[in-house]
Amino acid sequence: MDIDPHTLQQILQRIYQQMRCPQCGKRVPVDFSSVRVMADQAMLLQLKCDMCNAYIVLHASLQGVEALNAQPYKEDITANVSTSLELNKEELAMLRKGLTEAGGSFEELFHKYGSTSPSS
Q: What is the pLDDT of residue 68?
A: 57
64 in the same domain as 38: yes
Residue 18 exposure: Cα atoms within 13 Å on the Cβ side: 8
Strand order of the sheet with strand 42-48? 35-38, 42-48, 55-61
Q: Which structural domain, as residue segments, surrounds residue 114?
A: 87-120
97 in the same domain as 68: no
72 in the same domain as 54: yes
pLDDT-derived band at 113 (thresholds 50, 70, 90) equals confident
Q: What is the pLDDT of residue 101?
A: 84
State pTM to two decimals: 0.52
Q: What is the pLDDT of residues 35-73, one digit of tens each?
A: 888 887 888 999 999 999 999 999 988 877 666 555 554
Distance of CA 9 to the CA centre of its chain: 5
Q: State the amino acid at position 50 in one-letter form.
A: D
Q: Does residue 110 fall inside a structural domain?
A: yes
Q: What is the pLDDT of residue 117?
A: 47
Q: Does residue 63 fall inside a structural domain?
A: yes
Q: What is the pLDDT of residue 47?
A: 93
Helix axes 106-114, 89-101, angle to 10 degrees: 100
